[in-house]
């Protein structure tokens, strides 16, 4: 073949390739799910798998979270325009607009001047329905990242107003941080939502009657914490929604001939990791996984048209599967002993401090409450020695019991933390910051001890800077393979949706 002729054939093949590519993309993904485990770094994902393994199975490595079995796994860097360690606001901006910005900013550029269009807005303009589901308040950084444009994530009321203006179809999860503004002088957001055609649903009974064709909806969990977020999964009652229920209802209500884009956030995975509470984090990761399972079930009916992405905006807490005093042993099953989250337990500590006369307050007096909620045991040296002997002889129950006994060193830390919790006087020094940050001293010491007994440890109360995994399944999943930046996630999702660029 002459050189010229070869070029001719190469050109023809390329043109056919381009054409086929265009046709494939023109079909586009009709149902896009973006699941964001806020703060859900790789170590927390795997800790959850190991916990399941320890609790359910004799066979090491048998238990997996559904999404860690997805056919495509990528890695995504998360640094933002101002720091190697991102916050949730700049992270969601990167993922949903493809642009880096600074921490605290939602969907504006780093200079806080130019508004950035979000993929959710583009999907809405293209005729798709849009759903936003989160366990935290609907005006919190990650859900706000779908519809809001603001120089500060703390502008909760302004963000809520933008939610009401978004025209998106389904909001579900927590409530609003300041429904009448921070100074309580503004028009009630619930009135504005009604004026804008939204129906607000706040009870299980009403929720269960919702069927398509739906009005525009805002579904709020019947109980909320002091930040207007849903309770942790570990603390929920039967009246509370699970993230899976909110996702399933969203699928049912959003399904339509033009398809939908739904973002589902496990928002308190991050909060549990900030508080260094591994048991609460695992509970919320399991709750999050059940929500992913709803999308997987739906995708089985629409395998050619559904794309499911599961990722995190950053990792939190510097979680390590290992601890200096436990060597190479992990015993995540010991976390089963913890019955409530740090959030609920801190309230119990506060109530005890408030209701018990100072001369009656003691760690020993409070111990039954600690034992009930964390399974920790205050044993004498003889008791420990006897149990250790039995454990050595193969008594599994004795081994489990002695594993929950507190050591002298642990007791000393608890005594100090107890005193700080009771007096409310926390020294303003580096040591106190390292031990407690702003958390209730006794509670955070207990969640640290639980982690240490299980063989895990934390290095910070903040976010960390390592890349996060991206799991993908369904149409276009192959786009998410490899190592890339969080801004690339936007371009990849957009390519999968085959939405053409909008003129801004």
Residues in contact with Zn ion by CB under 5 A are 38, 88, 270, 313
Q: Which residue, 245 or 270, has its beta carbon nearer to Zn ion?
A: 270
Rounded to a whole number of angstroms, the minimum distance from the CB of residue 11 to Zn ion is: 47
CB-closest chain residue to Zn ion: 88
| Angle, CA of 162, 98 and 69, to the nearest 5° | 100
Strands 260-266 and 31-37: parallel
Rounded to a whole number of angstroms, the minimum distance from the CB of residue 91 to Zn ion is: 6
Query: Counting beta carbons within 10 angstroms of the beta carbon of residue 239, is it exposed (0 to 12), middle (13 to 18) or buried (19 or more)?
Result: exposed
Query: Counting beta carbons within 10 angstroms of the beta carbon of residue 197, is it exposed (0 to 12), middle (13 to 18) or buried (19 or more)?
Result: exposed
Rounded to a whole number of angstroms, the minimum distance from the CB of residue 38 to Zn ion is: 4
Rounded to a whole number of angstroms, the minimum distance from the CB of residue 100 to Zn ion is: 16
Q: Answer for the pair 132, 124: CB distance below 8 angstroms, yes or no.
A: no
* Torsion sign, CA atoms 67, 72, 78, 81: negative
Rounded to a whole number of angstroms, the minimum distance from the CB of residue 391 to Zn ion is: 41
Determine the Cα–Cα distance for residues 266 and 168; give it in Å rounded to an integer.
Answer: 20
Sequential DSSP letters for 18-77: HHHHHHHHHH--SEEEEEEETT--HHHHHHHHHHHHHHH-SSTT----GGGGSSEEEEEE
Q: In terms of Cα–Cα distance, which of 286, 300, 292, 212 is closest to 256? A: 212
Q: Which residue, 78 or 348, has its beta carbon nearer to Zn ion?
A: 78
Q: Which residue, 80 or 158, has its beta carbon nearer to Zn ion?
A: 80
Tokens of 226: 């002091």
Rounded to a whole number of angstroms, the minimum distance from the CB of residue 95 to Zn ion is: 11
Strands 315-316 and 463-464: antiparallel
Q: Which residue, 88 or 276, has its beta carbon nearer to Zn ion?
A: 88
Rounded to a whole number of angstroms, the minimum distance from the CB of residue 223 to Zn ion is: 23
Q: How many CB atoms lie within 10 A of CB 9?
A: 10
Q: Which residue, 38 or 169, has its beta carbon nearer to Zn ion?
A: 38
Q: Which residue, 38 or 343, has its beta carbon nearer to Zn ion?
A: 38
CA atoms within 13 A on the CB side of 215: 14
Q: Which residue, 29 or 132, has its beta carbon nearer to Zn ion?
A: 132
- The DSSP letter of residue 235 is G
Residue 172, sorted as left (phi over 0), alpha (psi -120 to 50) or beta, turns out to be beta
Q: Which residue, 92 or 475, has its beta carbon nearer to Zn ion?
A: 92
The answer to whether the peptide bond before residue 280 is cis (omega within 30 degrees of 0) is no
183 contacts: CB under 8 Å, gap ≥ 6: none
Rounded to a whole number of angstroms, the minimum distance from the CB of residue 474 to Zn ion is: 25
The strand ranges marked E within 294-438 are: 306-312, 315-316
Q: Which residue, 245 or 277, has its beta carbon nearer to Zn ion?
A: 277
Q: Which residue, 47 or 446, has its beta carbon nearer to Zn ion?
A: 47
According to DSSP H, which parts of 98-224 are helical? 119-125, 141-147, 156-166, 189-195, 204-209
CA dist list (Å): 263 to 34, 63, 247, 415, 464: 5, 26, 9, 44, 23
Rounded to a whole number of angstroms, the minimum distance from the CB of residue 236 to Zn ion is: 21
Q: Which residue, 287 or 313, has its beta carbon nearer to Zn ion?
A: 313
Rounded to a whole number of angstroms, the minimum distance from the CB of residue 92 to Zn ion is: 8
């Amino acid at each position: 073949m002459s050189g010229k002729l070869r070029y001719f054939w190469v050109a023809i093949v390329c043109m056919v390739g381009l054409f086929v590519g265009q046709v494939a993309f023109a079909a586009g993904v009709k149902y896009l799910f973006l699941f964001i485990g806020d703060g859900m770094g790789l170590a927390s994902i795997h800790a959850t798998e190991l916990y399941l393994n320890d609790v359910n199975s004799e066979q090491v490595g048998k238990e997996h979270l559904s999404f860690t079995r997805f056919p495509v796994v990528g890695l995504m860097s998360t640094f933002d325009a101002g720091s190697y360690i991102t916050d949730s606001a700049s992270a969601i901006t990167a993922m949903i607009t493809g642009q880096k910005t600074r921490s605290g900013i939602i969907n504006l550029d780093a200079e806080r001047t130019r508004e950035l269009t979000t993929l959710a807005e583009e999907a809405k303009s293209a005729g798709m329905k849009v759903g936003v589901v989160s366990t935290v308040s609907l005006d919190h950084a990650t859900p706000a990242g779908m519809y809001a444009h603001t120089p500060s994530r703390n502008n909760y009321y302004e963000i809520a107003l933008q939610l009401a203006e978004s025209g998106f179809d389904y909001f579900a999860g927590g409530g609003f941080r300041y429904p009448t503004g921070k100074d309580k002088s503004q028009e009630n957001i619930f009135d504005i939502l009604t004026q804008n055609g939204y129906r607000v649903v706040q009870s299980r009974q009403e929720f269960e009657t919702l069927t398509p064709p739906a009005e525009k909806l805002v579904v709020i969990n019947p109980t909320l914490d002091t930040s207007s977020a849903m309770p942790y999964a570990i603390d929920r009652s039967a009246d509370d929604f699970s993230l899976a229920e909110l996702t399933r209802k969203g699928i049912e209500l959003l399904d339509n001939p033009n398809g939908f884009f739904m973002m589902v956030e496990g928002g308190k995975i991050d909060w549990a990791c900030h508080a260094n509470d591994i048991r609460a984090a695992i509970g919320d990761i399991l709750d999050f996984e059940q929500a992913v399972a709803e999308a997987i079930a739906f995708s089985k009916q629409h395998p050619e048209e559904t794309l499911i992405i599961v990722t995190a905006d950053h990792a939190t807490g510097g979680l390590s599967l290992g601890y200096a005093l436990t060597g190479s042993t992990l015993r995540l099953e010991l976390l089963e002993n913890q019955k409530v989250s740090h959030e609920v337990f801190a309230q119990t500590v506060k109530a005890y401090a408030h209701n018990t006369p100072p001369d009656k307050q003691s760690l020993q007096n409070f111990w039954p409450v600690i034992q009930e909620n964390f399974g920790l045991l205050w044993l004498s040296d003889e008791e420990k020695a006897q149990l250790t002997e039995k454990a050595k002889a193969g008594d599994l129950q004795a081994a489990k019991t002695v594993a929950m006994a507190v050591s002298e060193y642990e007791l000393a830390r608890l005594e100090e933390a107890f005193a700080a919790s009771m007096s409310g006087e926390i020294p303003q020094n580096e040591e106190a910051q390292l031990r407690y940050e702003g958390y209730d001293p006794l509670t955070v010491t207990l969640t640290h001890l639980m982690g240490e007994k299980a063989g895990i440890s934390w290095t910070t109360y903040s976010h960390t800077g390592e890349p996060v995994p991206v799991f993908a399944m369904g149409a276009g999943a192959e786009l998410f393979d490899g190592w890339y930046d969080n801004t690339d996630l936007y371009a990849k999702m957009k390519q999968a949706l085959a939405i053409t660029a909008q003129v801004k």
